[in-house]
Each structure stands twice: as C-alpha cells, then as structure tokens.
Structure 1
C-alpha cells in the first residue's frame, strides 16, 4: 500500500484591508453622531461603530478614529452623547462625516446634562461618561456608562456597503408623516378604502412607498387591512388614550418647569391663544371643528414651547394630536364647556403662578376627548333607537 504524500500545512492567509472592508460592509448598522464639548468648543463625528455592552450597569462602546478631533475631545473631556439618526438624516450623517469648518452651522441643537450637544430630530439620545479607553489599531475604543437614555418616534438611518439609506421595512419618514396625517385627518367614523395609487400620484412617490407607510400605520392600529385593501377606520379608544397619556406627561413636565417663571408677555400670549379657541364654539356646538383643532393646537404647542426645548416641542408634534383630535371628535360633536373651562383654568394658573392649579387643569383636560366621543356614541345610539 502506497504511503500518501505529506500535505504541506500553509499558514493562515492574511486578510487584506480591502477584503475586510468589503465583507464587513455587508453588515448593516445604524448611524449615529457622537457629540461632545471641550473648552467650550463643540465636536461631532458620524459613527456606525456603536454597540451596547451591558445592561446592568447600562454601558455601551463606540469606536472613533484616533486622528479625529472628536476622538481627542472625547478622550480629554471624558463625556459624550450618542445621537441616533432618523432615516431622513442622510445630509446630517454626511455633514458630520466631513471636514467642514463648522459642522453645527444651521443644525438645531440642545445641551445635554454633561454639556454635549444633542441633535434635534434624532430618534434617540444617550448621555455617556467614559469608563475606560482602549487603543486598537487606528481607533480609540471608548467604554462608557450610559447616564441618561431617551427615545422618540421614528425609523433609523442605516449604513450598508458604504452608503446611507433606510431600512427596507421602514417607510420614508416624510411619506409616513404625510400618510399618517391623511389617515388621521379623515375625521370619519365610516370606513373608507384607501386608493394607494391616487395617494402615490398626489405625493409624487411610488406606490410601494405608500404601501410601506400603510403597513406601518396598520401595525400602529390607525388603519385596518382587509382582503388586500387598506381602510381608514375609526381610531381605537386605546390608541387615543395612549397618545393623551403621552401628551399629559409632556404638558405636566412643562408646567412644573415654567409656571411662575414666564414673562408677562408670555402670559398675555397664552391668554390670547386661549381666547382664539372660544370663537369656534357657539350654542354648545363646534361651528368649525377643523378650525377649533388648529386653534387648540396653537394654544397647547405654545405652552410646550415655553419650556424652551426644541426637542421637547418636536416630540410633542410627533404625537399627531391635531389629526387625532379630529378623529376623536365627530364632525357634528357637541362642544363640552369643560374644554373651554380647562383652558381658562390653565391660563389663570399661569397668571397666578399656581402650578397645582395648572396641573389639575391639564389632568382634567386630558379626559375630555374620550368623554366627548363616548357621549357622541351614546347620542348616535339613542337616535338610531328612535329611528
């Protein structure tokens, strides 16, 4: 029997940088901007190398090129913020990945508790303190404790094979907002089949983009799917209730921060906007439900604006309250005097600096839409019984 020839064992082949970039580029990641401040100067850099480390205690890691000014600033300051970008933030991601002289020019920001800039419109913010720093090749690896974490509605921006884009399952953010607004503004208790082709033509997008938005809204419960059709349907009370809980939480937080601290001019403006809402009610009915909803929106948004936080105002607007108010109110709704009484109580609480009075008015006010909707349903049921 012949003896087999010995097999030469070659050493492992070294993976080239080009090969590695090509393969690892097929791993889709989210996109963030790492921000920090050092000696009063703001720094920021786009980064996809961000990962959770542990949840007890909450920690994450991020990698930044050692040659970047942001990496040096994080190293020296020991603090940074992670801003998770939304799918329509391609320009923002490109800007912070570049070497423009002032990356923050024209970019709305707020300041985190650790001094780091927060990008308005991000779908999440994580406020971090560096626990450990490691040098690995061309990069610094920062292991950090997460001291604060906040998330907002929206879909993430993705990075895949060297390009920014959206997740395939997520609808485009601008289209989603428009489709949601159309569904909410329908303001009807009758189901209506959505003409996706017509909506796509009106919005200037492909039908499949509308389809993805409708899938997302169906998951939210704002529309209904039936035998391949999408139907605008009455918004379930459970969704209205959840949105109003979020609304109440934001408004109470604003009241606790601002009552007793606003100027006389701001109080006067708040009263003026409150009085604007009265003009849309006559003899216990809404003369113009859409007009009342717009006036009500201006009043409440101005109160939230008193907190001076663009991020908070943006979050409040994302709740979609104007359209939801129309869906919560039947077009022929009776106008509860309690709605206007709540507004007056809120304004007088601001004028006297009585935070408990304002909070009580807000809690009462949050119950009105569902109360009025139930009353309308009872009226319709009674009318049907007499027919």
Structure 2
C-alpha cells in the first residue's frame, strides 16, 4: 500500500503543535554512571508489558542522560507530584549540577530516587533503538514504589495539575468493607479477597485502599494494607463533616418546609424510639438505620442531589455501629432529646435553636465513647 498518497507529511512545527495537545505526565529520568549522577525531565514514558513488567522511555540522542543510560544500562523513572513544576523545570535545564540542591536516595545501581515523587520505577535496559532524534530504551522493571498524590501534567508547553475523577462507587464500597472489618486487633487486608467479595477489579480496590490510607482508616506499608481500630479523631472528623452539611441544609430549610414534610420528619424521629428501652439500645443496628433515615431526610429537605450524595458518601452508619453499640442511659436520652428538639425547631421555625441542637448532637459520639471508657 502506498501511504504517500494518503496525506502530506507534517512539518516539524505542525507535528509539535498537534502533539502539544496531548496531555502527559511528567517524570525525571535518572541514572548513575562512573561516579556521576544524570537526570532529565521527560514525558515520553509508557508501559510496555506487565508480564514481565516492562516500560519504555524516550530521550533525545544529544542528552547526556540518554548517553549515560546507554553506557550504564540502568535508570530510574521518578513520577513527579502536581506541585513539582519547579523541579521539572530544573531537570529540563542544562544546569551542570542538577543534584546539588535536590533531596534523593540511592536505588539499584545507585540511580537517584527523588524525594516527593508519587511513583518510582527502577529499571534495567534490555534493548534500545533509535527513532529519529531520540533513543528509545526498552527496560525491565526491577522495583516499584508509590505514594498518595496527584501527578504533574504537561500540556501545550506548560506544567499543571491533572484532574482525575475518583471512582466514588468503588471507594464507598471499599470504605464500608474496611470499617466493617474493624475489630479490637489489627487485621491485614487482602485486596484480591476484597475485590472478589465486592465484585470489583483489584486495581480499583487497590486505589481505594490507597485513598483510605490518606484518610487514616487504613495503615499502608508498600503494597500491604492493614486496618486497625478506628482512631477516635477519625470518627470525630467524620462527625464534623456531617455537622457542616446539616447546618448548611438547616440554614436553607428551617421555616421553608411544607406541613407534609414536617409530618414526615416527626414520623422518622419517632421511629427511632422503638430501638431504645430504658437504659440501652436494644437493637443498635436498627437504631442506626432509623437514625440514618431521619438525618438523611433532614439533609434532603434542601432538595440538593449533590448535598445529599455527599452526606451519604460519609458512610456514617458503619462507624456509628462501633461508636454506640452500648451506650449509657445519659447518652441515649440525650440522643433522643436532640432529635425531638430538632423537629420542634423545624416546626416552630427556630433556626438558631436547630443549629444549636445540631452542634450539641455532633458531640454525642465523643461523649458516648468517654462514658463507655469511664464505665469500663
């Protein structure tokens, strides 16, 4: 087939202009050869194979880093974080001493591993070819590491932030699984087992666990994850977020709801009463379901899908099961009194009273845990 008849070959400048519209991540390729460190910023990095793990990189033939890699046969790929634009500029320059002001550790073959990178690949060259002005190195990956964070992007000649949409459904499902796995002893999490149980791809589970390690729900060591008893402060942070959403909803709705909505709000509040008998919760799980229905309805009065979904996304019922499985009489009475006061405030249009009660209500989990600890 004669491809010359299909199109006219673009000029160098046309090609660069069009390629500039392709956003890519930014890395620093490093190597060590004969007692000297080399490094260059590069965006031409690509996965080649996962069995065995291999990748390829492209560097200009005139690059001293490319020439050093050709001699040493080793290099490291440092994937830069979104705030590393100055570091990328530094390694894109022709500075004679690129490592003098840079923090790094030594990897395999003494290749520099730059501090603050969100991912690193340590590689050994298996083959190299020349393509026009560049050398292409095909390499086997000997080691990898990663840290939470967003990547630095390169687009139209500028560095910037690469926005990624999180897989909310997977994250919510894994968060629920993790919280329900919490016990009085540390437990190692098996990503493959979680993926099978939730019918999710293992890669989505892994990314969700990485995100949960940033939240403090999971402790991470490399590719291993462990869930420990949820720290009190993590629980209180969730309740602080809950309070912020409920205050926003109340500010929009108190004094502006229909009689029918007030009747339903009171019905949901009274439905929580059947799960408390005297001095204890007789059915903690039933209470939590009923309590969640009451609070979600309250937030839903604002008629904002985004607000309601954000509230549900906190996944508070699973945490509450561990917070109030056994509560003192005082704690139980206060929870019920709060609900009654909130409904009364809605019925009378008393916004200040509702906001005051919501603030006190948000502190009940902390009071409950303190009461349980004192009793034990």
TM-score normalized with structure 1 length: 0.54
Structure 1 residues 283 and 226: CA distance shift in structure 2, 3 A? farther
Q: What is the Cα-based RMSD across aligned positions, in Å?
A: 3.2
Matched residue, 1:201: 196
Query: CA offset at residue 211 of structure 1?
Result: 2.2
Classify 1:265/1:224 alpha carbon distance in 2 versus 1 (closer, same or farther; 3 Å). same
Task: Structure 1: state its 5+ residue gaps.
Answer: 1-12, 30-154, 162-166, 381-387
Q: Does 1:285 align with 2:273?
A: no
SS at 1:273's partner residue? helix
**Is the 2:281–2:332 Cα contact (8 Å) retained in structure 1?**
no
> What does 1:41-52 align with in structure 2 at a 5 Å threshold?
none
Query: Any residues of structure 2 matched to 1:275-354 within 5 Å, and which?
Result: 275-329=270-324, 331-334=325-328, 336-354=332-350
Instruction: Indicate the residue corresponding to 1:371 in structure 2.
Output: 367
Q: Give secondary structure in 2 for the equivalent of 1:279.
A: helix
Q: CA deviation at 1:250?
A: 1.9
**Could you tell me how far 1:170 is from its partner in structure 2?**
8.5
Q: For residue 229 of structure 2, give the secondary structure of its aligned residue in structure 1.
A: coil
Deviation of 1:266 (Å): 0.5
Residue ranges of structure 2 left out of the alignment (5+ in a row): 1-9, 27-148, 156-161
Q: List per-residue Cα deviations over 1:26-58 (Å, max 9, x = no partner).
A: 4359xxxxxxxxxxxxxxxxxxxxxxxxxxxxx
How far apart are the structure 2 equivalents of 1:292 and 1:306? 21
Aligned residues: 237
Q: 1:140 — aligned with what? A: none
Measure the CA separation in 2 of the matches of 1:296 and 1:156: 37
- Whether the 8 Å contact between 2:276 and 2:332 is mirrored in structure 1 is no
Conserved 8 A contact 1:267-1:351: yes
Alignment of 1:214-233 (within 5 A): 214-225=209-220, 229-233=224-228
Q: Which residue of 1 is the match for residue 207 of structure 2? A: 212
Q: Secondary structure at the match of 1:370?
A: helix
Distance in 1 (alpha carbons) for counterparts of 2:232 and 2:267: 32
Structure 1 residue matching 2:24: 3-state secondary structure: coil
Q: Report Cα offsets for 1:125-163 as digits up to 9, x if no partner.
A: xxxxxxxxxxxxxxxxxxxxxxxxxxxxxx9999999xx
3-state SS of the aligned residue for 1:336? Answer: helix
Structure whose CA Rg is larger: 2
Q: Which residue of 2 aligns with 1:173?
A: 168
- Measured in 1, the distance between the counterparts of 2:352 and 2:336 equals 19
Q: Contact 1:234–1:327 at 8 Å: present in 2 too?
A: no
Measure how far apart 1:279 and its partner are: 1.3
Q: 2:363 and 2:255 mapped to 1: Cα distance?
A: 25
**TM-score when scaled to structure 2?**
0.56
